Amino acid sequence: MRVTLQSLVLGTVVVGWLLAAPAWPQSDSALPFTSRRALVFLFLPQEPSPPVSGLERVLDQMDTAARNFKTTEASVVWEQYQKVIDEKETEKGTIYFRREGGEIQMAADFAEPDRKYVIYSGGKIQVYQPKIDQVTEYDPGKNRSDVESFLVLGFGGNGHDLLKSYEVKFLGPETVNAVATERLELIPKSVRLKNNIARILLWIDPARGVSVQQQFFEPSGDYRLAKYSEIKINQKLPENAFKLKTTPKTKFLSPQG
């Protein structure tokens, strides 16, 4: 059994106290039996505390980041893969997150392949396509909590809150774009969620407690891969980051269902 620093310090303190005490009996037999047992126990090496698991460490880091979260800005590459036609579609731009009141809001400004703006705020998703000058508004309705849970994965959400909706597994370290990360696998607990997303992979930067990469797998085999770089945390965002750059002639659509 390994002797710990704590047991050595404790033993040293007790020895000093014993030597300084003038009234101790001169023979061991004079000590009460319970006192002798107590002394023996004090000198036994103490077991070290169990190490914190990799999963708990990462979740704690995410909790800390969530408590301090105000804003995030990052360059983003979204890659959408469709298995049936075996094709990938890639979009590149800038993404923003901020805590406004009690909610996390998101805005994305895509420059490639076509200009597109996406905003999630107040429980609604707005997608503006300047090429056709049209805004499409989506109301998640009863699925709002699902949308928000995906939104805050690694950006403003508490790590331990993941355990409420997902089976979370620690997959170990992996370097992504020269950043040392810890990889987590999330399996939805609810059948409703699992029908849309079979599993999620998160690459968490433990130094900052945020995602640098996410991958969402659908039951069909399709997936979406999001890569984040040039991440700026708790810095001032552009004034118009959460405003759609529409025109007086912009059409607004609200699909049902």
> In this predicted model, what pLDDT tens digit does every residue of 243-253 receive, in sequence order?
998 999 999 99
The per-residue pLDDT for 179 is 93
Outline which parts of the chain fall under CATH 2.50.20.10.
54-253
Cα angle, residue 212 at apex, residues 98 and 139 outer, rounded to 5°: 45
Closest CA to 14 of 42, 40, 47: 42
The per-residue pLDDT for 11 is 33
The per-residue pLDDT for 155 is 87
User: Which pair of tokens denotes residue 79?
Assistant: 């890659």
User: Which pair of tokens denotes residue 89?
Assistant: 């579609």
User: Which pair of tokens denotes residue 214?
Assistant: 């996410």
Low-confidence ranges of the chain (pLDDT < 70): 1-52, 256-257
Could you give the CA distance from residue 141 to residue 114 in angstroms, rounded to a whole number? 29
The CA-to-CA distance between both ends of the chain, in Å, stands at: 64
CATH number of 54-253: 2.50.20.10
**What is the pTM (predicted TM-score) of this model?**
0.75
Q: Can you name the residues that pair with 138 across neighbouring β-strands?
A: 125
Q: Residue written as tokens 């490639």?
A: 112
